[in-house]
Structure formats: structure tokens, C-alpha cells
Amino acid sequence: MSPQAPSFHPALFYRDPAAALDWLPKAFGFRVLQDYRTPDGTVAHAELTYGSGILFLGGAKPDSGWRSPLDLAGRHQSVCVAVDDVDAHHDRALAAGAEIVESPKDTDYGSRAYTARDPEGHHWHFDSYRPKS
């Protein structure tokens, strides 16, 4: 495996994956790497990147157990993303309509962070903290 290739990549499921592919770059600064569509234009699979991370994105398929947070009670996950400027990132997300769950603040572990939800309820935590490898 290449040293730059992530060793894992979370997958999130959306009722409207096409809208998520438009919204995530505007709000959170992701870049779309791959956007595979079926002949009718439905998103079959997509890959987005931010920094060295990769995110898989697809359509919710409740019959297969793949659900959007809109179909679930409570928080079931949180994607943590390291960003260089937490406050600027927060402002961008807020302007794009992200629901801010927790405003930017300094943490007990020497970082700065904020938490948001996307339009389908996925929980995102943006932080200046970078795990040690």
C-alpha cells in the first residue's frame, strides 16, 4: 500500500447522495474524486477527499441496512476531520447552512474544535488536533 493511501475510509449513506456531493464541497471543503452514476443518473458510489482522508458516499438502501441518519434515532457516528483553521472552516460551513452543534472552542487537550451536522444529520467534528501516526 502506498504511504499516501488511507488505510481505512468511512462510508456514509444519504437519501439524496447527489445533493450531498454538491453540499459537502461547498460547506466543508471536500473535493470530489470519483462520482459513479447509474444510467438513470443515480449516484452509485462516490469518493471525496479532504487532506489525506478519503470518504465513500452512497445512496441509502434501507432494505440492505444502509440508512441515512434521517431514518435513525440518535447519533450513530461522527466523522472527525483535521483542519488548519477551525474558525474559518466553521464560518464556511455556517454560511453553507450547516447546523452548528457546538461552536468553535479550545479543548482540554490543546486543540480547537467545532461540531456540525449536514442536511441529512451526519455528525461532523472539525478539529485542529492531528493524531500521531
What pLDDT score was predicted for residue 120?
A: 86
Give the residue among 70, 23, 75, 71 at the shortest CA–CA distance from 46.
23
Residue-range domains of the chain with CATH: 11-61+76-127 (3.10.180.10)
Dihedral angle of Cα 129, 102, 71, 42, to the nearest 10 degrees: -60
Fill in the DSSP letter of residue 61.
Answer: B
Confidence band for 2, pLDDT divided at 50, 70 and 90: very low
Q: 48 or 11, which is more confident? A: 48
What pLDDT score was predicted for residue 125?
A: 94
Tell me if 96 sits within 8 A of 27, measured CB to CB.
yes
What pLDDT score was predicted for residue 78?
A: 82
24 has a pLDDT exceeding 80: yes
Integer CA distances (angstroms), 3 to 22, 52, 66, 83, 129, in order: 29, 10, 30, 20, 21
Average pLDDT along the chain: 88
17-28 and 86-95 helices, crossing angle to 10°:
140
Give the residue among 1, 6, 2, 12 at the shortest CA–CA distance from 82.
6
Average pLDDT over residues 101-108: 96
Cβ neighbours around 45 below 10 Å, total: 15
Cβ neighbours around 22 below 10 Å, total: 12
Q: What is the pLDDT of residues 48-81, one digit of tens each?
A: 999 989 999 988 777 777 767 666 666 667 889 9
Q: What is the pLDDT of residues 111-121, one digit of tens each?
A: 999 999 999 88
